Amino acid sequence: MQRLLEIAALNVRFATPEGEVAAVRDVDFGVGAGECVGLVGESGSGKSQIFLAALGLLARNGRVSGTARFGDLDLLTCDRAALDRIRGARVGMIFQDSMTSLAPHLKIGEQLAEVLEVHGGLGSRVARSRALAILERVHIGDGATRLAQYPHELSGGMRQRVMIASALLCDPELVIADEPTTALDVTIQAQILELFRELRRESRLSLVVITHDIAVVAGLCDRVAVMYAGRIVEEAPVGALLRTPRHPYTHGLLAAVPRLDDSTDTPMQAVPGQPPNPAAWEAGCSFAERCTRASEHCRRERPELTADGSGTRTVACHHPLGETRA
Amino acid sequence: MNAVAAVTGPVERGLWRDAWRTLRTRRTALAAAFTLLLIAALAALGPYLSPHRFDALDYTHILAGPALESGHWFGTDDLGRDLFVRSMLGLRISLAIGLIATAISVLIGVSYGAVAGYLGGRVDELMMRAVDLLFAMPQFFFVLLLAVVFDQNLIVLFVTIGAFGWLVMARIVRGQTLSLMHREFIEAAIACGVSTPRILARHIVPNVLGPVIVYATLTIPQMILLESLLSFLGLGVREPLASLGGLVADGAAHMQAAPWMLLIPGGFLSLVLLAFNFVGDGLRDALDPRER
Amino acid sequence: MSAALLDVRNLSVSYPVRRRRLDALTGLSFTLASREVLGVVGESGSGKSTLARSVLRLLPQIRGEVRWRGIDLYGLAARDMRATRRELQIVFQDPFASLNPRMTVSAIVGEPLLVFRPELSRANRATAVAAMLARVGLGADLMNRYPHQFSGGQCQRIAIARAVIAEPLLLVCDEPLSALDVSVQAQIVNLLADLRREFGMSLLFISHNLAVVRRFASRVLVLYLGRTMELADRDALFQAPLHPYTRALLEAIPALDPLEARRARAVPIGEAASPLDPPHGCVFHTRCPFAVERCRSEIPVLESVAPGRQVACHRWRELPAGKG
């Protein structure tokens, strides 16, 4: 069955003074209708660039190749007008930093109304009632007051809700949430995650959650893909990924999360080294220099994403972990 | 962390390297800088090329036009003085005034502004009110007054012109310092017990250099122009020395008989002012966007 | 039982903000013994950064007392304070912002030595800096580079090197992990734990992440809108939290098991109130699922419920047992 969003062989390169930087390398990614897929990766892994590229929001020095299909539309080859029509209306995007994504000089009501007028051609009164309705849907109380406020007058959590509201305004089929809970307090984060769960229950919303915090995807996503240095290194249903990670990096990410039942006497299992420089290019596996299981083979030959027997998961590793995580 | 920045590296990739890279793309700024270098070389070496002295009177060539054979390449003025050498002299003096006066205002302005911004509170308020007060005073009249009182003494001229230029510099540096105070490395320095003079010298001043350089480069032409104005009024450098402004004043008086007397020093003056402004603009592009 | 190194009594800090007053901290009291680690947990608006700065006398004035080794820090003359600063150091949240972009790494790490050990020759200082950098996992070949040439994790290591090189007795860590990549956080956790053991430092570890605090702390103080909600030994707090806010914090930690993560949780309602306009009575009552009329009008007193255990809640006795 055709998936709602299908990205294949996506490559994103940036021309910088230091040379060409490959931010996204050969990425396949898909979201089915009503599905929630998580994309986990650290800074520099390229996870945001995939969707910025697909939606035509790439920086000026960026080059894309590959395919990105949304429904019947080929996003990378269609004209600007077609892209403008689906952005906001059929695909909602929640950007990373709500403080910089909301225009500081416009009231909330004006920003929401702008989206409605551009996409729905709605008159101002209808737009206002629609805006109030959407604020209520994301549990922002006292919507009338909020509409008249400026972004800086709202708290971080409230702004995030406004961002979510703005993405939902036109009833999109797909919402891409880029780091939706980063920079939020943990109690607010719990609220926002609960809100996402509720939204998914209410409608057949497809959701992509981009995050560096693997714990966020646990309670929200059906499937999770893990990115490292511009490539997808593992993809699996969420339960399988969390219980039995196959890629050493995934395992490292999970081990790096301090748990309430950890022993505090032993050091944490840290992934040695640091995330790679995106400008660097290696012949073999990008993770080899930080991997405790790396062999000479890993350094020479890049592992391809291969499916396992069940067909539900893939991993790109020459020596994947096989045993169940303790 | 901003996604694009994550891919292309942290934004502040080294102020000077980035600045140089940007500057390289600003053709007008580069051309202007090159021109300035040429002019400076000319001003330094030019007088040695000509056999004439700047104050030598040549009665055989009064108000003579530019001619190669006569040895007066730029012609002569109404007293028979060679214009080439005098133009070079004028360049030297104008450039000197511009640079020295700017240096004075940078020194005073940066120290004053950094201290005010760092100390904050009442002291800062007092210091900036003083600046406001001085700002409100008619600078030009003061300079005129002092020029008259001190009989156009060259040193006094340098100092008084520079002494008013520091006001805006102080304001700029104070503003930059205030925003720096919120950066944690200043708090870290305090926590490490670093003394106030050292914090100012090693932590604050090096981090405000960007706007200081830009503004200084744009101040130089202002200083030159101010002195030129004084000279035009007859209150600049004293005869027989002359700045470009003085030469322009002389030339204006003999505009019809000997237009080259006005055009040549005027041309140099315009070129110098324009060049400094272009370089300043280029530097602002190169340095400012990177500054927080 | 060693004497308290740090003794904070009734600490209150206010800032004037646009004709109003922001009470960042109110009536905070705690002690910290030698080699002990106190974890301070709080979200935004809790006043934790203000606390970090108060302890180091980076604020101009406070109400209440901060006593370091028996001496009132805010009563010290400037010169004596400077000498005392050697014993109190801090690591900030943003690794890039805490390093002077115009100084080389060796100059940054060497600066405390310039101040506190001026007798050292330049060569000896350089050796000490190189040794410290190696200790935090950075090669000596990086000494002449500038901060912008390093990653966030490396910059934080540099900041830690600078804080520790003069061998302080107390290290305040103000959210040292929040700005770092997840795969690097664990490295820094291990580094801090190692250094603490090696130098015998006390730690005031401030974080919004309870699970991380658990790694370091022997005691935990929970802060909300500038007030102490709960103070307890680590194990007691995690096994049987008494204050509703502590329980909410524990509940809010996302579980790594999908089934566990999706079960309905007692998520606190609403936003944290603004410190500019705190609620009357108990500051937490607007978000507390157990709030009653008394909570709206009467500020709960921080009461001692057991040795070393305090709670500020009217109803702690009657609440159902917390997450164990």
CA C200 to CA B84: how far, in whole Å? Answer: 77
Q: How far apart are the C-alpha atoms of C78 and C116, rounded to whole Å?
A: 15
Check: CATH 1.10.3720.10 for B32-47+74-291? yes
Please indicate whether, in this complex, the C-beta atoms of C90 and B207 are within 8 angstroms of each other.
no
Distance from CA of B151 to the nearest CA of A (A): 56
Across C59-79, average pLDDT: 91
Of C43, C194, C256, the CB nearest to A215: C256
A50 interface with B at CB cutoff 8 Å: no
Percent above pLDDT 90 for chain A: 25
Structure tokens at C139: 């090669």
| Inter-chain CB proximity C100 and B184 less than 8 Å | no
Say how far apart CA C49 and CA C59 lie, in whole Å.
11
Distance from CA of B14 to the nearest CA of A (A): 13
The ipTM assigned to this model is 0.88
Contact B110, B173 (CB under 8 A): yes
CB-CB: which of A18, A49, A277 is closest to B3?
A: A49
**CB-closest option in C153, C211, C259 to A260:** C211
Q: Which of B1-5, B28-32, B93-97 has the lowest mean pLDDT?
A: B1-5
What distance in Å separates residue A176's CA from the closest CA in chain C? Answer: 20
* Distance, CA of C140 to CA of C221 (rounded, Å): 39
The Cα angle at residue B287 between residues B284 and B292, in degrees rounded to 5? 115
Record the tokens describing residue A144, joined without a space.
């009338």
pLDDT at B5 over 60: no
Instruction: Report residue A66: phi and psi, to 5°.
Output: 115, -165
Is A142 exposed, middle or buried (CB count within 10 Å of its CB: 0-12, 13-18, 19+)?
A: exposed
Chosen from A13, A48, A61 to mutate, greatest number of chain B CBs within 10 A: A48
Answer yes or no: are the C-beta atoms of A168 and A134 closer than 8 Å: yes
Cα A61 from Cα B237, distance rounded (Å):
54
Q: Is the dihedral of CA A103, A108, A114, A120 positive or negative?
A: positive
* pLDDT level of residue C148 (50, 70, 90 thresholds): confident
Segment of A26-30, B137-141, B207-211 carrying the highest mean pLDDT: A26-30
pLDDT for C197 equals 92
- All residues of chain C having their beta carbon less than 8 Å from the beta carbon of residue B10 are 96, 148
Residue pairs spanning B and C at CB distance below 8 A:
72
pLDDT reported for residue B155: 78
Q: Give the number of other Cβ atoms within 10 Å of residue A301's Cβ.
A: 12
Q: How confident is the model at residue A272 (pLDDT cuts 50, 70, 90)?
A: confident
Q: Find out whether A235 and A225 touch, Cβ atoms under 8 Å.
A: yes
**Residue A223 predicted with pLDDT over 60:** yes
Domain boundaries defined on chain B: 32-47+74-291
Listed residue (C6, C65, C66) closest to C202, CA to CA: C6
Share of chain C above pLDDT 90, in %: 66
A306-307 and A314-315 strand pairing: antiparallel
Average pLDDT on A198-205 reads 87
Nearest to B185 among C86, C98, C152 (CB): C98
Sequence-separated (6 or more) residues with CB below 8 Å from residue B137 = none
Burial string for C61-100 (b: 16+ CB within 10 Å, else e) reads ebebebbbeeeebbeeeeeebbebbbbbbbbbbbbbbbbb
Contacts of C224 in chain A (CB under 8 A): none
B-chain residues within 8 Å CB-CB of A16? 8-9
As a whole-number percent, the residues of chain A with pLDDT over 70 amount to: 98
Q: What is the pLDDT of residues B279-292, one digit of tens each?
A: 888 888 777 544 43
Buried b (16+ CB within 10 A) or exposed e, B5-25: ebbbbbeebebeebbeebbee
Q: Given a cut of 70, is residue B10 above it in pLDDT?
A: no
Q: Do A278 and B8 touch (CB under 8 A)?
A: yes
Task: Please give the Cα distance from A302 to C309 (Å, whole number).
Answer: 56
The region of weakest confidence among A84-88, A226-230, B95-99 is A84-88
A window 127-156, beta carbon within 8 A of C: 155-156
Cα of C199 vs its chain's centroid, Å: 19
User: What's the mean per-residue pLDDT of chain C?
Assistant: 90
Rounded to an integer, what distance in angstroms lies between the CA atom of residue A257 and that of residue A268? 9
DSSP 3-state of C222: strand
CB contact under 8 A, B188 and C88: no
Contacts of C251 in chain A (CB under 8 A): 190
Q: pLDDT value at position A260?
A: 84
Q: Is the CB of C53 inside 8 Å of chain B's CB atoms?
A: yes
Q: How far is C279 from chain B (nearest CA, A)?
A: 29
On chain B, the residues whose CB falls within 8 A of the CB of C111 are 189, 192, 194
CB of C99 within 8 Å of a chain B CB? The answer is yes
Q: Is C100 at the interface with chain B, CB within 8 A?
A: yes
Pick A270's closest partner by Cβ from C151, C190, C248: C190
Instruction: State which residue of chain B sits closest to A229, comparing Cα positions.
Output: B7
Inter-chain residue contact A155 with C272, CB threshold 8 Å:
yes
Q: Taking CB atoms and an 8 Å cutoff, what residues of chain C touch B14?
A: 146, 148-149
Kindly tell me if the per-residue pLDDT of A232 is higher than 50: yes
Q: Note the helical H segments in chain B.
A: 3-8, 15-25, 27-49, 83-119, 121-136, 139-149, 154-180, 184-191, 196-198, 205-232, 244-253, 259-287
Check CB contact of C92 with chain B, cutoff 8 Å: yes
**Among residues C117, C167, C118, C161, which one has the least CA distance to residue C142?**
C161
Predicted pLDDT at C180: 87
List of chain B residues whose C-beta atoms are within 8 Å of the C-beta of residue A20: none
Q: Do B7 and A21 touch (CB under 8 A)?
A: yes
**Bridging pattern class, strands C219-224 and C202-207:** unpaired
Q: What is the pLDDT of residue A314?
A: 93
Residue A197 in 3-state DSSP? Answer: helix
Subunits in contact with chain C (3 or more CB pairs closer than 8 Å): A, B
Reply yes or no on whether the pLDDT at B275 is more than 70: yes
pLDDT per residue as tens digits for the range A104-151: 888 888 888 888 877 777 777 888 888 888 888 888 878 888 888 888
Residue A21: which of B1, B2, B8 has the nearest Cβ?
B8
Q: Which residues contact A32 (CB under 8 A, 6 or more apart)?
A: A1, A3, A4, A206
A189 Cβ under 8 Å from any chain B Cβ: no
Find the residue in B nearest to A276 (Cα): B7
| Among candidates C96, C102, C152 on the partner chain, residue whose Cβ is nearest the Cβ of B207 | C102
> Which chain C residues have a beta carbon less than 8 Å from that of B194?
111, 115
Cross-chain Cβ contact B193/C103 below 8 Å: no
Q: Does the beta carbon of A177 lie under 8 angstroms from any beta carbon of chain B?
A: no
Question: Residue B15 — very low, low, confident or very high, per pLDDT cuts 50/70/90?
Answer: low
Closest chain C residue by Cα to residue A43: C181
CA distance B79 to A124: 80
Which residues in chain C are contacts of B203 at CB distance < 8 A?
100, 103
Give chain B positions within 8 Å (CB) of A178.
3
B183 touching C, CB under 8 A? yes
CA gap A205, A168 in Å, rounded: 10
Q: CA B223 to CA B216: how far, in whole Å?
A: 10
The full DSSP string for A114-152 is HHHHHHH---HHHHHHHHHHHHHHTT-SSHHHHHTS-GG
Chain B partners within 8 Å of A43 (Cβ): 1, 6
- Indicate whether A1 pLDDT > 70: no
Q: What is the pLDDT of residues A37-49, one digit of tens each?
A: 999 998 778 899 9
The Cα B187–Cα C73 span in angstroms is 17
- Which residues 39-78 of chain B have a CB within 8 Å of chain C? none
pLDDT tens track for A162-194: 888 888 888 889 999 998 888 788 888 888 888
Read off the pLDDT band of C155 (50, 70, 90): very high
B1 and A43 in contact by Cβ < 8 A?
yes
* DSSP-assigned letter for residue A275: P
- CA-based nearest distance A157→chain B, Å: 18
Q: Residue C133 in 3-state DSSP? A: helix
Q: Which of C277, C236, C312 is nearest to C28 (CA)?
A: C312
Look up residue C218 and give its amino acid. S
The residues, any chain, with a CB within 8 Å of residue A196's CB and separated by 6 or more, are: A164, A177, A180, A207, A209, A220
